[in-house]
Every structure is written in structure tokens, then in C-alpha cells.
Structure 1
Amino acid sequence: MNLLIFGYGYSAKALVAELALPPGHVRVTTRSAGKADRLAAQGLTARVFPGTDMGPDLAWATHVLVSAGPEGGQDPVLAEARDAFVAHAGRLDWVGYLSTTGVYGDHAGGWVTEDTPLTPSTERGRARVAAETEWQALHREHGLALHIFRLAGIYGPGRGPFEKVREGTARRIVKPGQVFSRIHVEDIAQVLAASMARPDPGAAYNVCDDDPAPPQDVIGHAAELLGLPLPPEIPFDEAELSPMAASFYAESKRVDNRRIKEELGVRLRYPDYRAGLAALLAAEGGA
């Protein structure tokens, strides 16, 4: 396997760790020459993108992960490298595009599956639907081995609630009926690896755990694990959130994950936030 990654971020790094590929079998993109140099010092071949012709790298790759999100309503990878993907579409074994469950919009706490119509209610969600549509066109028209992964809220090492709880800055914001789905970054990595082992071009997968839950419950459980007082409970209407933070509360849904289990054979390592937070805290102790 030769893996090319557009956008070497949090989830992409977890995938590289999951696959444990030999040196020389991973190439990544980054935005700055300085970061490319730092990644090269870690043994990775890094390209500055946009700004590099990715045709030779796509000719080298067997597998491609696209984890770069839309910018200004446009997919940055297709904006710069569409022709290269078309030229090499027929020889790529697997292409994964990381999307978001935000494409489903608000369902008032109801369940959504991969077959639920895409009705996003935010600009970010609409940009993701547009990007998915562009990538799907390459699959239909040029045979690109595309797989779409709609990720729920991501957490994991360095991205948990413990720091804010310890600092006393965490808040339990309560909006009646509000639930979110989540996924541990290691489970994202194992889903992607499972898809590579069982490719099904054209498929879309929800990537989330088994337990959609109100956000205040997660913060409360983190405080309990730390043995600290529960952070204050604040009604949503009084929380004075930034527009970005408030937009996340505009949508409430429960995301169904049966497809990753039934079609990819995935057994989640962290099936709910309780298991995930306990593991994060245990890892902190070990560190």
C-alpha cells in the first residue's frame, strides 16, 4: 500500500498510526514549507499543497485519504487537483473522503442513516454536501474508487473535556432535547482501515459511537471521573455562545452506525463516551 493524504490532521495521523506502514509508504500534504520540513524530519514525505503538482504522487499512490475540508464553500483538493484525480482514477484502489454528519441537518433528536436525505441547516453543512457531490461525480463519471465517511464529533488524546473541567472553565450547557453523536479518533482510524480491507466504491458510512448523548452529560461524567464538582448547569438561551459554538446547537440528531459494523465488520473500541473518557484518563495517568 502507498498512502497519499491530503491534509495531515488529527484523524489522518491516527490512521497512519493504525496502519503502521513502513517508511516510504506514506506521503502527506501540508500548507507550509516549514511544516513540510518538520514532517520530513519525522520520516514523512510531505508536499506543500496547494502549490505542488500532485500528479506524480497520485501516480505513485494506491490509496488516498482526503481530510481537507471545504474553504470558502469550495473543496480545496478538487480545486487544485481535479484533473490529476481524473487522470489516475482508474488505477487507485481506494479513495476516502472525510465528511461530517452535519450533512443531515437537524432532525429534532431523531435517527439518521446513510440513506437519510441530506438537508444541512448550516453553511458548513451545505459546503460539505457540495463537496460530497463533486467527489461522487468523479466516482460516477471516471470510476474513482470513492468512499465517503461522515464523521460525528471527534474526541481523543488532546481533545477531551478534562482540561476545561480541571481549570474550572467547563460549563454544562442545557438545551432540552439536544443530543450529539461522537466518535473516538482511534475508531475513525479503524473504520478507515476496515474500509481499505473491504473496498466498496460509491459507499458512504456514518462514523460514530453507539450512544448519542446530551453534551452536558459528557461534561458531568468527566467531572465525576476526576472527582471534581459538577460544572454549573446553564440554560442554552443564557450561555452567550459565539456564533460558531451556537451553530452546533442548531442541529440535534442521533446517528445510526450499523453499516460500519455490518458491512465493514468494525467492533468499536470505545462504543460510548464513558469508555472513551475512561481510556483517555487512564492514558494520562500512564503518561
Structure 2
Amino acid sequence: MNVMIFGCGYSGHAIAEVFQSEGHRVSGTVRTAQKALELAARDIKAFVFDGSPFSEELLAELREITHVVQSIPPGTEGDPLLKLVSGRLLELCPRLEWIGYLSTVGVYGDHGGGWVTEETPGSPILGRSIERVDTEDAWTTEGLIADMPVASLRLSGIYGPGRNAFINLERGTARRIIKKGQVFNRIRVEDIGGAALFLAKGNMGGIYNVTDDEPGPPQDVIVEAARLMDIEPPPEQDFETADMTPMARSFYGANKRVSNAKIRSAGFQFRFPNYRMSLAEMWSSGRWRG
């Protein structure tokens, strides 16, 4: 495979690593020349792309790629990549076989703590999640026109080396916000990479929840990380009276349990199916710092 990752950031790095581990060629885009140097240090062929028309170098690369992962979030004006490739996908990428789109479980909205699956109708409550639904649909349409599979990976809260409760506890920024009945799913970043490779190798399209097995209260993760560090967790704070930014508070407006049964039944095996084993691995290996 010759894989291009548009928006090769935290998740993109993990996706690149797992494809590279099987000998596949990986290229990626970032917004600045400095970030391009960081990709090159990871043996990822780097291109600068900020939504402007493709450079000649990037156009040449697109003619060679066989797989695309789109990780750039849409803005109020839509998906910046779609604007440039819509209706021209096979003209620009004549060897393309598969598209993966990184979406979010935020598209399901609030279900009062109930379970949701890929069959659950989307009812997003936040603007950024509404944009994701529209973009998923648009990529699906492009795939139908080009007669190729498009997989939408709906991701839950992403964490892993360099982004986790240990880091927050060390920095003193971890907070134990208590909202009765509130649960979240989460996903270890390496499992995002594994899921993308699994779907690409299987030439699989459709919607897939890429999330852990165990939705749970966010404060429990903080307590478990503090236990492993052998420190006291931060004090509990009531959600109703806690000093939070509007953005932080908005995340608590969607309460649901997200099922990963579909991708599991297809044969994918998560390396880190719950936060306890994942935190224990990061702590014991020392990889939590990134």
C-alpha cells in the first residue's frame, strides 16, 4: 500500500506507524514546514497542505497513492480536502483503492447513558459534530461515484502516550468532575492505527465505532492513574458548580455508551480494550510521557 494521511497529527502518527510496521509506504500532510520536518524524522514523506490548491509535488504524490486517510476536521465551510477532490477523485488519484475518514462518536449526540451502535441515527448537539455527519455523507457519495469503499471511523475520546491522565496529574491540571450518571468511551491511539490498517487491508467500507469496551465515569480514570502513580487524586468537584470553560462543559452534554461490536465481529482485536489495562501498560512501560 501507498498511504497518504491528510492531517498527520497525533492520530495520524499512530496510523503511520502501524502501516509502516507492515512495510507500507506512508506520506502525510501538515500545515507548517516545521511540522513537515517532524514527519520526515518519522520516515513519513511530508507535504505542507493548508486547504489551498495542491502543490505540484503533492499532485504528483496523489497520482501514486493507493489509500487515503482523511484526518483533517471540517470547518464551518466544510471539508477542505473534499473541496479540492470532489468529482475529480479518480482523475487526481488514479490508483486509489480505499478511503478512511476519521469521524467522532459525537455524531450520536446524547442518549441519556444508553447504548448506541452504528445503526443509531445521528443526533449531534454540537456544531462540530453536525459538520462531521455532513462530511461523512459527502465522502460516502464520493466513494459511490468512484466505486470504492469509504470507511468512516467514529472515534471516542483519544488518549495514549503523551496525552493521558498521568500527564495531567503530573502537571496538576487533572480534575475529578462528578456528574451523576455521566459516562464516556475512550480509545487508545494505537488502536486507531490498528483499526485503520485492518479496514484498509480488508478493503472495507461503512461506518465503524472505534472505541473501547468499557464506557465509564471520567473521574474513575483519574483515580486509577493516581493509584498507579501512588499519589492522592485531586478532590471531587460537582459538575453543577465547577468552574469550567463552555467548551469543557459542552462535552458533558452528551451521555452515551458506544458499542464496538461491529468492528469486533468483523475480526478486529483491540490491543487496549479498557482504560485500566491501558493505563497499567503505559505506566509499567514508561511510555506515558510519549
Whether TM exceeds 0.5 here: the answer is yes
Residue 260 of structure 2 corresponds to residue 257 of structure 1: yes
Deviation at 1:76, TM superposition (A): 1.4
CA contact (8 A) 2:89 2:146 kept: no
TM-score under structure 2 normalisation?
0.91
Deviation at 1:86, TM superposition (A): 4.6
Residue 154 of structure 2 corresponds to residue 179 of structure 1: no
Residues 61-106 of structure 1 deviation map (CA, whole Å, 9 limit, x = unaligned): 0111111111225111112333442525674221100000000000
State the alpha-carbon separation in 2 of the partners of residues 196 and 213 from structure 1: 30
Q: Report the AA paired with residue 181 of structure 1.
A: N
CA contact (8 A) 1:162 1:223 kept: yes
162-171 or 274-283, which moves further after superposition? 162-171
Partner residue in 1 for 2:279 = 277
State the alpha-carbon separation in 2 of the partners of residues 248 and 216 from structure 1: 14
Q: Report the AA paired with residue 276 of structure 2.
A: R
Partner residue in 2 for 1:125 = 129
Partner residue in 2 for 1:27 = 27
Q: Report the AA paired with residue 35 of structure 1.
A: K
Corresponding residue SS for 1:252: coil
Please, which of 162, 166, 169 is the counterpart of residue 162 of structure 1?
A: 166
Deviation at 1:145, TM superposition (A): 2.3
72-81 or 248-257, which moves further after superposition? 72-81
Unaligned runs of 5+ in 2: none
Deviation at 1:190, TM superposition (A): 0.9
Corresponding residue SS for 1:28: strand
Deviation at 1:246, TM superposition (A): 0.8
Q: Report the AA paired with residue 33 of structure 2.
A: A
Partner residue in 2 for 1:114 = 118
Corresponding residue SS for 1:237: coil
Partner residue in 2 for 1:48 = 48
Residue 108 of structure 2 corresponds to residue 104 of structure 1: yes
Please, which of 141, 144, 147 is the counterpart of residue 145 of structure 2?
A: 141
Deviation at 1:278, TM superposition (A): 0.7
Residues 97-148 of structure 1 deviation map (CA, whole Å, 9 limit, x = unaligned): 0000000000010000001101100011101111111111112233232111
Please, which of 69, 72, 75 is the counterpart of residue 76 of structure 2?
A: 72
Deviation at 1:22, TM superposition (A): 8.1
Q: Percent same amino acid at aligned positions?
A: 43
TM-score under structure 1 normalisation?
0.92
Partner residue in 1 for 2:238 = 235
Q: Report the AA paired with residue 270 of structure 1.
A: F
Deviation at 1:234, TM superposition (A): 0.7
CA contact (8 A) 2:63 2:94 kept: no
C-alpha distance 191-222 of structure 1, shift in aligned 2 (>3 A): same
CA contact (8 A) 1:180 1:214 kept: yes
CA contact (8 A) 2:19 2:25 kept: no
Partner residue in 2 for 1:247 = 250
C-alpha distance 37-83 of structure 1, shift in aligned 2 (>3 A): farther
Residues 181-210 of structure 1 deviation map (CA, whole Å, 9 limit, x = unaligned): 011011111111111121223x11000010
Q: Report the AA paired with residue 2 of structure 1.
A: N
Partner residue in 2 for 1:15 = 15
C-alpha distance 238-20 of structure 1, shift in aligned 2 (>3 A): same
CA contact (8 A) 1:103 1:120 kept: yes
Corresponding residue SS for 1:109: coil
CA contact (8 A) 1:23 1:44 kept: no
C-alpha distance 73-23 of structure 1, shift in aligned 2 (>3 A): same
State the alpha-carbon separation in 2 of the partners of residues 73 and 228 from structure 1: 46
C-alpha distance 219-37 of structure 1, shift in aligned 2 (>3 A): closer
Q: Report the AA paired with residue 35 of structure 2.
A: K
